């Protein structure tokens, strides 16, 4: 775990390597591209990078299906390119964390290939079950990506479990040899100088004894059976004791459905924490139910409840990981903001979370307000989960409705290449891009925003530098006002030196009246940040946001 909690003062930037920047012209984002852009990332005020997987992989789930934990994929530039980026980041005072994906491996991984042939010691590395005499599957769980959670292997003549794609076989973490493998992987990267890990669906690694059926199928997909399984805490403690205790590494755990109460079982600083931070999903659910594919009207009150719950319940005990976007969800401007007010809403969304207490993460392209992608043909989608959703789920709806469902729900909306300039292929590559570039790159791109003082990009820079300056943002109390409002989110942060007040309008309406909370006198404040050139008293324009300060000393 991180010594002296260094991660509490960081702002991280997430790189999803395939779409970040191509440096060698083959159409695929790579580490040469990352190296070119290190100064850009630093210029945002970010001093940490989280890399989505860079390891060799067949690419069924864009790298989350790993076939070698000790390498860097050639398509990303191989190990030499990685070491150059790692050194380059460190020279600039930036930390680097890797994705650790150990709930499953690719079926092309050597361990799986040997396990299916029952070659020891790999025989029990995965979750194998024989066919049942009645022809039924070993249990009733679903895969979260495609079909049931079981696939038949013709070599071993048994079923193996896959909670994600068929080619992502779940590891048997109850096998001590598998846990030793995990520890060796961790040591390998930490010894190289990596500063920590984002642990992929780590709360799924311990399956319950006997793999019982889930009573809440089909709604639950089985998730209540394998999330926070019986030995999860014990295994995390073991990784900590045997590995992390010997390094100064940050551990961030992806945790679907986690509540603040549950999170504190792992991150309570006063009670032997085994993790530094957890990634909650609740802030992604203000316009959906359980999954992005079940789309509902955006509900600000739901979002505010989540924000405030995490801010207050963790206060003084655990540390929040703050984010609004990542590679698994459509773009926020198109969801909680508006494509019609792209610039205004992108800035407002930044303010809505950047002044909260915790460590913020910014996903590539978010800093210029990239929007969703609206392809005309479902065949253009690449993502395994998206394709399953279109071709196998909701098939009774009209093709138009089914396509629109993908526009709102697909992860591919956030996976189009970063829009670097108005040049061909958005300046992402000189070759043929591996994936479609969003048509709006001529209007939304980094190069244009660099030269525009009022761009979303420069707004992010201001907001990040401000959050570093303001002592109340690092440690101050959080308080929410006007909880009942369906359009405005207002919160304050306060410490011994200052008090700040943040207001965010999530409304398209031109003249939304803001009720300044009691005890705040705007006439004596300093306005630190806002997204319109002129202010109209307490009347807010579409997606307007403001940050005010009162100094105490």
Burial 161-184 (b: 16+ CB within 10 A, else e): bbbbbbbbbbbbbbbeebbebbbe
Residues 6+ apart with CB under 8 A from 522: 516, 538, 548
Residues 6+ apart with CB under 8 A from 129: 138, 150, 158, 159, 160, 161, 211
CB of 200 to ligand NOJ, least distance (A): 5
CB of 76 to ligand NOJ, least distance (A): 16
Q: How far is residue 124's CA from residue 118's CA, in Å, rounded to a whole number?
A: 8
User: Is 57 or 115 the residue whose CB approaches ligand NOJ more closely?
Assistant: 57
Q: How far is residue 447's CA from residue 399's CA, in Å, rounded to a whole number?
A: 37
User: Is 256 or 517 the residue whose CB approaches ligand NOJ more closely?
Assistant: 256
The single residue among 12, 55, 160, 164 that binds ligand NOJ, judged by CB under 6 A, is: 164
User: Is 327 or 408 the residue whose CB approaches ligand NOJ more closely?
Assistant: 327
Residue 101 binds to ligand NOJ (criterion: CB under 6 A):
yes
Q: Which of residues 13-72 bind ligand NOJ (CB under 6 A)?
A: 61, 64
Q: How far is residue 28's CA from residue 428's CA, in Å, rounded to a whole number?
A: 9
47, 95 Cβ separation under 8 angstroms: yes
Q: How far is residue 360's CA from residue 351's CA, in Å, rounded to a whole number?
A: 11
65, 73 Cβ separation under 8 angstroms: no
The single residue among 15, 201, 255, 426 that binds ligand NOJ, judged by CB under 6 A, is: 201
Q: How far is residue 150's CA from residue 141's CA, in Å, rounded to a whole number?
A: 8
Residues 6+ apart with CB under 8 A from 161: 126, 127, 129, 138, 141, 149, 150, 169, 170, 207, 211
Residue 146 binds to ligand NOJ (criterion: CB under 6 A):
no
Residue 195 binds to ligand NOJ (criterion: CB under 6 A):
no
Taking residues 288 to 327 in sequence order and writing x for each that binds ligand NOJ by CB under 6 A, - otherwise, the string is ---------------------------------------x
User: Is 281 or 532 the residue whose CB approaches ligand NOJ more closely?
Assistant: 281
Tokens of 497: 């030196």
Q: Which H or E run includes 549?
A: strand 545-551
456, 367 Cβ separation under 8 angstroms: yes
Catalytic residue among 254, 412, 498, 544, which?
A: 254
Q: Tell me, yes or no, if 200 is annotated catalytic.
A: yes
Closest CA to 7 of 62, 48, 59: 48
CB of 204 to ligand NOJ, least distance (A): 9
CB of 101 to ligand NOJ, least distance (A): 5
Burial 421-444 (b: 16+ CB within 10 A, else e): beeebbbbbeeebbbebbebbeeb
- Binding residues for ligand NOJ, total number by CB under 6 A: 9
Residue 170 binds to ligand NOJ (criterion: CB under 6 A):
no
Q: Which of residues 326-355 bind ligand NOJ (CB under 6 A)?
A: 327-328
At 346 the three-state DSSP class reads: helix
Which residue of this chain has its Cβ atom nearest to ligand NOJ in the complex? 64
Query: Alpha-carbon dihedral of residues 486, 318, 329, 206, nearest 10 degrees?
Result: -130
Catalytic residue among 200, 214, 285, 292, which?
A: 200
User: Is 101 or 190 the residue whose CB approaches ligand NOJ more closely?
Assistant: 101
Q: Which of residues 207-246 bind ligand NOJ (CB under 6 A)?
A: none
Q: Quick one: angle between helices 399-409 and 384-392, nearest 10?
A: 150
CB of 201 to ligand NOJ, least distance (A): 5
CB of 65 to ligand NOJ, least distance (A): 8
The single residue among 146, 199, 200, 292 that binds ligand NOJ, judged by CB under 6 A, is: 200
275, 197 Cβ separation under 8 angstroms: no
User: Is 61 or 292 the residue whose CB approaches ligand NOJ more closely?
Assistant: 61
User: Is 165 or 500 the residue whose CB approaches ligand NOJ more closely?
Assistant: 165
Taking residues 253 to 292 in sequence order and writing x for each that binds ligand NOJ by CB under 6 A, - otherwise, the string is -x--------------------------------------
User: Is 344 or 412 the residue whose CB approaches ligand NOJ more closely?
Assistant: 412
Which spans of this chain sit near ligand NOJ (rule: CB under 6 A)?
61, 64, 101, 164, 200-201, 254, 327-328
Give the residue numbers annotated as catalytic, written as ranges: 200, 254
């Amino acid at each position: 775990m991180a010594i002296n909690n260094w991660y509490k003062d960081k702002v991280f930037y997430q790189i999803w390597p395939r779409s970040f920047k191509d440096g060698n012209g083959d159409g695929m984002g790579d580490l040469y591209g990352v190296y070119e852009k290190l100064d850009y990332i630093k210029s945002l005020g970010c001093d940490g990078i989280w890399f989505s997987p860079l390891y060799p992989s067949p690419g069924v789930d864009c790298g989350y299906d790993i076939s070698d934990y000790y390498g860097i994929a050639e398509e990303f530039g191989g190990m030499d390119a990685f070491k150059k980026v790692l050194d380059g980041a460190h020279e600039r005072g930036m930390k680097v964390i890797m994705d650790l994906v150990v709930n499953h491996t690719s079926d092309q991984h050597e361990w799986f290939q040997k396990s299916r042939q029952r070659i020891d010691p790999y025989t029990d590395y995965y979750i194998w079950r024989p066919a049942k005499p009645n022809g039924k599957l070993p249990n009733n769980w679903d895969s979260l990506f495609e079909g049931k959670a079981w696939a038949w292997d013709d070599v071993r003549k048994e079923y193996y479990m896959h909670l994600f794609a068929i080619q992502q076989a779940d590891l048997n973490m109850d096998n001590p040899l598998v846990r030793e493998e995990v520890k060796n992987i961790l040591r390998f990267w930490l010894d190289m100088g990596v500063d920590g890990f984002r642990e992929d669906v780590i709360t799924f690694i311990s399956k319950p004894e006997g793999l019982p059926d889930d009573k809440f199928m089909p709604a639950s997909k089985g998730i209540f059976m394998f999330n926070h399984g019986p030995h999860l805490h014990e295994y995390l403690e073991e990784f900590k004791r045997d590995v992390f205790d010997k390094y100064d590494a940050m551990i961030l755990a992806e945790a679907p459905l986690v509540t603040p109460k549950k999170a504190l079982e792992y991150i309570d600083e006063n009670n032997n924490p085994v993790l530094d931070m957890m990634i909650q999903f609740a802030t992604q659910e203000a316009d959906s139910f359980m999954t992005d594919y079940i789309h509902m009207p955006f509900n600000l009150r739901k979002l505010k409840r989540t924000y405030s719950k995490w801010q207050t319940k963790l206060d003084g005990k655990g540390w929040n990981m703050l984010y609004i976007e990542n590679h698994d969800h459509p773009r926020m401007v198109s969801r909680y903001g508006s494509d019609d007010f792209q610039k205004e809403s992108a800035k407002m969304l930044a303010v809505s979370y950047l002044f909260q207490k915790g460590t913020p993460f910014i996903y590539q392209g978010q800093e210029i307000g990239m929007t969703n992608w609206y392809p005309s043909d479902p065949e253009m989608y690449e993502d395994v989960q998206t394709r399953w959703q279109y071709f196998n789920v909701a098939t009774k709806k009209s093709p138009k409705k089914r396509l629109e469902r993908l526009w709102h729900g697909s992860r591919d909306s956030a996976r189009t290449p970063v829009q670097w300039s108005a040049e061909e292929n958005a300046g992402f590559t000189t070759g043929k891009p591996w994936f479609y570039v969003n048509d709006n790159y001529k209007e939304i791109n980094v190069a244009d925003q660099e030269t525009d003082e009022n761009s979303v990009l420069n707004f992010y820079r201001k907001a990040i530098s401000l959050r570093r300056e303001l002592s109340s943002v690092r440690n101050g109390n959080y308080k929410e006002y006007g909880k009942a409002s369906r359009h405005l989110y207002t919160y304050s942060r306060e410490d011994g030196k200052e008090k700040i007040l943040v207001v965010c309008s999530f409304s398209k309406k031109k003249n939304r009246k803001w009720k300044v909370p009691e005890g705040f006198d705007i006439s004596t404040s300093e306005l630190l940040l806002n997204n319109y050139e002129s202010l109209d008293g307490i009347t807010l324009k579409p997606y307007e946001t403001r940050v005010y300060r009162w100094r105490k000393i």
